[in-house]
Structure 1
Amino acid sequence: MSESSLLIRSSSWVLAVAWFNRFLGFASVFALARLLSPEDFGAFAILLLVVQLASVLTDIGVEQYYIQQPHVTRADLNSCWTLNLLVKASLTFALVISSPVILAFFERETYLIAMIVMSFLPLINALGNGYIIHLKRSMAFHRFVKLAAFGQILGSVTSIAIAWYFESYWALVVGMLINAISQSLMSYFLLSERTVFSFEQFGKLWLFGKWLLLRNAVAHVRAKFDVWFAAGMFNLSNVGGYNTIKDVAMLPSREIVGPLLQVFFSFMSQDNRAKTSFERIYATCLAMLLLCSPMAVGLYLIAEDVTLILLGEQWVKYAPVLANLAILILSATAGDFASDALVSKGMVKHVFAYDLLTLLTTLLFLLFTYQLLTSPSSLSVFRAILSIFMFSSSILWLYFSLKLNALRLVRMFSGAALCASFMAVCVFIVKSAIDETFTRAVACVFAGVMSYLAALYVTTALPVFAHQEQLLLKKATSDLKTRLLARHHDGT
């Protein structure tokens, strides 16, 4: 199978499951936002924030190590799974023991039982079938991506049922737990291969992972500092409002682009294993821009409609927050892409240096402006300004670290910007012409998709993108058309 066909096959599976998960995610948020209050979401946000930070602080990058290695053995795979399991088991024990102290710091002692329950999430996730790491390296995503859909179904149904009966934040806690348990269990039913305990490669893993461990901690604090700030400065309702709206803004990045980046990390790592060029990094950058630019622009333009339709009347006051945070779709994905590209080349120190530098810049900026951040809206403006800086700096850092072709990158960004700008004009015209909320939102999405694809088609034919990107887009379109026609013939 050719590289482009393998990439399209893997991406197709990931996209299909991602769209399914996105639909379920929207349906779940649609229901839960009407059954639970912003205070419930605020309580869950604080609990999840603690667990996520602790989990990141113990992430030594076993997957990244295994995927980017030129040659691997079964002992490498077993050691990766074993070390991750031991670390997460230790984390769960530490969280359970320290839960009373952590909640006392936030003055939320009433959530102790929920905190203890959520402490088991890292261990449950680590208990999954370790062979999935090898499948990611081999880009055989079609063999396991359905696990995410299965877990999302059970988790969403459980959350909605508990919310309907009890109207409590426990709906969110138990739903996430069921999602994790079901994915770990099903990984052993769907895959016959197994990993076993092994300690052979722990030394190599630590040499690779020590920098990634520091990088993950710094990157997580940088990404979540605004929620930490809200948790310390706002009341529970505004914490829930800000965090929930931020989650909605991040849905496209998390549910669509994020899973695709897993495919592209394996794709980029093959450059390192084959000792070839940076072509896969350019291809991934192009895909990131073409996917994220229209989503960020579109969400900004119809933020109020999305808030009203998805969350309901009690959340409309947070619509400006969603508009401001739409840029996160682009900035967060660009940061992940730059990090993955550097890690795929084994340049973990460069990633840590960048994350540390941008974190210090963020904290310095916050130090001089925190007195102005008195509401979710003002905090979101601060976050949006910072996101523009993060987006620009991540691409520049990647450019200087890998010595990429500047003109090629500029043409790539220019092409994506032209397409997104044309789409924005079309969406604005449609938005101005329709009054009814749901009809306007649907019409805007349809107009945005069609105008963006039309602009992309024209731009590809013109000398806007570099020759390599033009060939890549034409090749991807041709391969996709061939696959669709083949499926059509098989169906008939």
Structure 2
Amino acid sequence: MSSEAERMSPPAPRLGARAAGGAFVTMAGQGVRVAVQFGGIILLARLLTPHDYGLMAMVTAIVGAAEILRDFGLSSAAIQAKEVSRQQRDNLFWINTGIGLVLALAVFAGANALAAFYHEPALVQISQALAVTFLLSGMTTQFRAHLSRGLRFGQLALSDVGAQVAGLVAAVAAALAGLGFWALVLQQVVQAGVQLLLTVACARWLPRGYDRAAPMRQFLGFGWNLMLAQLLGYASRNVGQVIIGARTGAEALGLYNRAFQLLMMPLNQINAPATTVALPVLSQLQDERERFTAFLVRGQTVMVHLIVATFAFACAQALPLMVLVLGEQWRPAVPLFQWLTAGGVFQTTAYAAYWVFLAKGLMGAQLRYSVVTRVLLIACIFAGSWWGVEGVAAGYSFGLLVMWPLSLYWVGRVSDIPVWTVFANGLRAVVGYGLCAVASWAASWWLGGALWRQLAVGTGTMLAAFALVFVAWPAFRRDVLSILQTRHLIAEARSRR
């Protein structure tokens, strides 16, 4: 490759230090994003109705697949590649932008068909307004990949938080003005536009024309396989919402969608930035087995403890949390949320396998794995749908439980990662925090009475149970302490670089 390509690759020295700094900045940024997003959920849930959310979900459950087509796996392809020339980066921008434009036109033209499918005329205008976000996101894709590849996590966090705040402000203003579901539409459009402006400003790079001489096959091959796998994943996550919307209407779908989004919020806010940090680092360590394994295992330990602890507490205290925070109108969503959080736990424990597939470029293996497991998950959802909305949630969670061991078995066949170590990390977190959640739920159930008192007692019991498990279980204690000692691993990596 050219010297220009070498200059564009992330520098090898001080990789450990940059990863440590990137992890800190990214998680700090995610902390702000979680606060903004959670605040937005509270405000908008009290200003809007389940029907408003249901209408929005009807659109996004189907046309959201276009967002995956828009990316085409090329953002991850650009990050994972060992070298990317200026010409290749320019070409990737134009490919993503072209795909985004085509999808925007397709969504706009298909709005009437979507409305006819659900028998909801309002979906025509919603779909047509959202169409522009695909073009905006397509233009943003390679600017974000450029920042991530350069390990410029602070600027990524700035663009993400800034866009989210702008979208929330616009949505709250529209909801207060009585615009109903248009508040949710405006939120998406404003967020996409502001994110494009901020990422362009941070990247300090403008694309030139398309260079036909630049080799693109490696990126397109990687992206094609990843895109197909992501489409299968998207279908398995959203087929339940399509079934609910078509069979029972916007009200029931709004309840399910809020429960599902409350599940996805911590998953997206931790998994996505964790991948943002882990993928470029692991990709550069893919030929160094010991260091690759050390970063993978430690990163997985941090992630599963953060998310499993959060979901365990949320599942145990779902009733007081949802009613006190979102309002009485969302009480019927409580059992849905409890089922879905159980599935979120199993999804998290399997996430390290996804890192391995991407970092090592094993996209063919990942596609085959996705075909098998996502079809299985969709079958579980369809089976559960015979028992209504709650059956959809239960089927989704059961499918994710089955996928956890399958993901590790599959990745173990095509790589040399320590499968049992990765599995044991997840299992200890599930068992440890599961015991804490059972104790928390039992204490609240036994107390009864006012919801705020149930929440207070459940929180105290959860903390007390965690302290007991921490003291009584040496392996669990080592995992928790290893999270606090992550800097030592990074320092070792830096000294060995």
Q: TM-score range by the shorter chain?
A: 0.7 to 0.9
CA deviation map 1:163-197 (0-9, x unaligned)? 12124100000011111111111223334333334
- Any unmatched runs of 5+ in structure 1? 482-492
How far does residue 345 in structure 1 lie from its aligned partner after superposition?
0.6
State the partner residue of 2:169: 157
Selected match of 1:317 from 314, 326, 332? 332
State the partner residue of 1:38: 50
State the partner residue of 1:427: 440
Tell me: CA distance 1:390–1:407, structure 2 relative to 1, closer, same or farther (3 Å). Answer: closer
Tell me: CA distance 1:59–1:102, structure 2 relative to 1, closer, same or farther (3 Å). Answer: same
State the partner residue of 2:126: 114
Instruction: Return the letter of the residue paired with 1:146.
Output: L
Tell me: CA distance 1:239–1:474, structure 2 relative to 1, closer, same or farther (3 Å). Answer: closer
State the partner residue of 1:223: 237
Instruction: Return the letter of the residue paired with 1:208.
Output: F
CA distance in structure 2 between the aligned counterparts of 1:456 and 1:373, rounded to whole angstroms: 39
Tell me: CA distance 1:473–1:235, structure 2 relative to 1, closer, same or farther (3 Å). Answer: closer
Instruction: Return the letter of the residue paired with 1:475.
Output: Q
State the partner residue of 2:277: 263
Selected match of 1:399 from 395, 398, 412? 412
Tell me: CA distance 1:121–1:170, structure 2 relative to 1, closer, same or farther (3 Å). Answer: same
How far does residue 445 in structure 1 lie from its aligned partner after superposition?
4.3
Selected match of 2:138 from 123, 126, 140? 126
1:272 is paired with a residue whose SS is coil
Instruction: Return the letter of the residue paired with 1:394.
Output: S
Selected match of 1:104 from 116, 135, 140? 116
State the partner residue of 1:490: none
Q: Percent identity?
A: 17
Larger deviation: 376-385 or 116-125?
Answer: 376-385
Selected match of 1:386 from 399, 423, 426? 399
CA contact (8 A) 1:26 1:310 kept: no
CA deviation map 1:137-178 (0-9, x unaligned)? 232201221111111111111111111212410000001111
State the partner residue of 2:299: 284
How far does residue 312 in structure 1 lie from its aligned partner after superposition?
0.5
Residue correspondences, number:
475
Selected match of 2:154 from 142, 147, 168? 142
Instruction: Return the letter of the residue paired with 1:253.
Output: L
Kindly indicate whether residue 216 of structure 2 is the aligned counterpart of residue 206 of structure 1: no
CA contact (8 A) 1:17 1:146 kept: yes
Larger deviation: 65-74 or 307-316?
Answer: 65-74
State the partner residue of 2:485: 475
CA deviation map 1:398-422 (0-9, x unaligned)? 2333243344235423432453145
How far does residue 435 in structure 1 lie from its aligned partner after superposition?
4.4
User: What's the TM-score, normalizing by structure 1?
Assistant: 0.87
Tell me: CA distance 1:221–1:414, structure 2 relative to 1, closer, same or farther (3 Å). Answer: closer
State the partner residue of 1:347: 362
How far does residue 315 in structure 1 lie from its aligned partner after superposition?
0.9
Larger deviation: 167-176 or 65-74?
Answer: 65-74
Tell me: CA distance 1:429–1:217, structure 2 relative to 1, closer, same or farther (3 Å). Answer: closer
Tell me: CA distance 1:54–1:204, structure 2 relative to 1, closer, same or farther (3 Å). Answer: same
CA contact (8 A) 1:45 1:243 kept: yes
CA deviation map 1:286-343 (0-9, x unaligned)? 2232222212211110111121122200110221111111123323334544223212
User: What's the TM-score, normalizing by structure 2?
Assistant: 0.86
Kindly indicate whether residue 19 of structure 2 is the aligned counterpart of residue 19 of structure 1: no
CA distance in structure 1 between the aligned counterparts of 2:472 and 2:416, rounded to whole angstroms: 30
Instruction: Return the letter of the residue paired with 2:264.
Output: M
Selected match of 1:253 from 260, 267, 275? 267
Instruction: Return the letter of the residue paired with 1:124.
Output: L
How far does residue 284 in structure 1 lie from its aligned partner after superposition?
2.8
State the partner residue of 1:55: 67
State the partner residue of 1:416: 429
How far does residue 41 in structure 1 lie from its aligned partner after superposition?
0.6
CA distance in structure 2 between the aligned counterparts of 1:384 and 1:463, rounded to whole angstroms: 27
Tell me: CA distance 1:440–1:262, structure 2 relative to 1, closer, same or farther (3 Å). Answer: farther
CA contact (8 A) 2:380 2:398 kept: no
CA distance in structure 1 between the aligned counterparts of 2:143 and 2:263, rounded to whole angstroms: 32
State the partner residue of 1:75: 87
Instruction: Return the letter of the residue paired with 1:377.
Output: E
Tell me: CA distance 1:453–1:53, structure 2 relative to 1, closer, same or farther (3 Å). Answer: farther
CA contact (8 A) 2:311 2:345 kept: yes
Tell me: CA distance 1:457–1:205, structure 2 relative to 1, closer, same or farther (3 Å). Answer: farther
How far does residue 472 in structure 1 lie from its aligned partner after superposition?
5.2
State the partner residue of 1:296: 311
State the partner residue of 1:373: 387
CA contact (8 A) 2:384 2:394 kept: no
CA distance in structure 1 between the aligned counterparts of 2:299 and 2:121, rounded to whole angstroms: 45
Tell me: CA distance 1:368–1:139, structure 2 relative to 1, closer, same or farther (3 Å). Answer: same
Instruction: Return the letter of the residue paired with 2:133.
Output: L
CA distance in structure 1 between the aligned counterparts of 2:94 and 2:206, rounded to whole angstroms: 12
CA distance in structure 1 between the aligned counterparts of 2:202 and 2:185, rounded to whole angstroms: 26
How far does residue 8 in structure 1 lie from its aligned partner after superposition?
2.9
2:98 is paired with a residue whose SS is helix
Tell me: CA distance 1:171–1:464, structure 2 relative to 1, closer, same or farther (3 Å). Answer: closer
